[in-house]
């Protein structure tokens, strides 16, 4: 088994714009197990992170509200955030139709830290 520090580096992603691609590839490589379809991808990701020795995940703001500080230099774990719907331009005001053309959903990234990363 690999040392926890090396696993952590592999789980955090490369940073910047590459994080989305990294998380997508990570999701495709994880076996959801027998509960496939009954769990969200984030639940599966968290179980995967926990199997690597990391527990109790919260965002930076959530840790701060709990009176904790993320240790300097720690890298966040990646999860998918709530989807945002991208909307095409709204119809002109004089147009009487109330049609809205919504595009595909966009899933931003959510950055979380494990309990071992805070003090």
In this model, does residue 13 exceed pLDDT 80? Answer: no
Helical residues (DSSP H) of 52-116, grouped into ranges: 60-65
pLDDT digits (tens, 9 = 90+) for 55-110: 999 999 999 999 999 999 999 999 999 888 755 544 455 555 555 556 677 889 99
Structural domain spans, the chain: 4-117
pLDDT digits (tens, 9 = 90+) for 41-60: 999 999 989 998 999 999 99
CA distances from 26 to 32, 67, 73, 111 (A): 12, 31, 23, 15
Q: What is the C-alpha separation between 12 and 22, in angstroms, rounded?
A: 9
Question: pTM, whole model, 2 decimals?
Answer: 0.73
Q: What is the C-alpha separation between 60 and 37, in angstroms, rounded?
A: 29
């Amino acid at each position: 088994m690999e040392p926890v520090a090396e696993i952590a580096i592999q789980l955090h992603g490369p940073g910047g714009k590459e994080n989305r691609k990294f998380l997508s590839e990570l999701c495709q490589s994880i076996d959801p197990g027998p509960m496939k379809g009954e769990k969200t991808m984030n639940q599966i990701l968290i179980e995967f992170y926990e199997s690597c020795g990391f527990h109790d995940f919260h965002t930076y703001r959530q840790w701060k509200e709990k009176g904790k500080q993320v240790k300097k230099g720690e890298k966040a774990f990646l999860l998918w955030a709530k989807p945002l719907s991208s909307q095409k331009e709204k119809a002109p005001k004089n147009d009487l139709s109330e049609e809205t053309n919504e595009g595909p959903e966009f899933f931003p990234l959510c950055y979380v830290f494990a309990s071992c990363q805070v003090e």
